[in-house]
Amino acid sequence: MGAVYKRLQNWMTELSVCIRCGYCYELCHLYKSGAFETDTPRGKLLLIYGLLTYALEPDGDMVEKIVQCFYCKNCERSCSAKVSLTEIFTDAKADFLDAGFDFRGLAARTDDDLCSRCRVCQAICKNEAISFDEEGKRVDVIKCEGCGVCAATCPSNAIVMVEGFGVTRGELSETIRAFLEEV
């Protein structure tokens, strides 16, 4: 199993640098939405460490937890040990794909039947995660950070974000409506 996670193996020393202080989750949007330890950057590092030390066997649910990250980098800014959290999570995505796991994480998905191929999403994506080919639009799940900008700009409403994290059109509309009712 260790050879499969070759990118993550390179982070073994840095995983040991984490002092488990918990500063990383104070501003974590995922932790605030789920409130489980495995939603925190610290929890994800512990899962990765468990995989690399053979204490844990990976499964789809564990992989989904590890790859869910909005890449806001609040965790890195607040990390007293200066652990490169988002780089570790990106390498985890790549290693999990290489190991044959099919995960969504927070990456955008496209309904090809609705997509007009206007390429507005491709132009707006700061991570260059969107491409087009003969078969349709492709989203690189390793590069996609789940920011939702592509979904917000899609004139065809063809892009779908993961429900439950406050980034879908419906969730954002509800948040705005609730805010305006308070004002």
Q: Are 12 and 84 in contact (CB under 8 A)?
A: no
Whether the Cβ atoms of residue 80 and residue 21 lie closer than 8 Å to each other: yes
113 and 90 both lie in a single domain: no
Q: What is the pLDDT of residue 89?
A: 95
User: What would the two tokens of residue 170 be?
Assistant: 């419906």
Parallel/antiparallel/unpaired status of strands 136-139 and 130-133: antiparallel
CATH classification at residue 114: 3.30.70.20
**28-83: pLDDT as tens digits:** 888 887 778 999 999 999 999 999 999 999 999 999 999 999 899 999 999 999 99
What is d(CA 7, CA 42) in angstroms, rounded to the nearest whole number? 19
State the average pLDDT for the chain. 89
Domain of 81, in residue numbers: 6-98
Residues 114, 94, single domain; the answer is: no
Number of domains in the chain: 2
Q: What is the pLDDT of residues 112-140, one digit of tens each?
A: 899 999 999 999 999 999 999 888 788 99
Q: How confident is the model at residue 1 (pLDDT cuts 50, 70, 90)?
A: very low
CB atoms within 10 A of CB 9: 13
Residue 2: predicted pLDDT: 44
pTM to 2 decimal places: 0.82
The pLDDT tens digits for 9-18 are 999 999 999 9
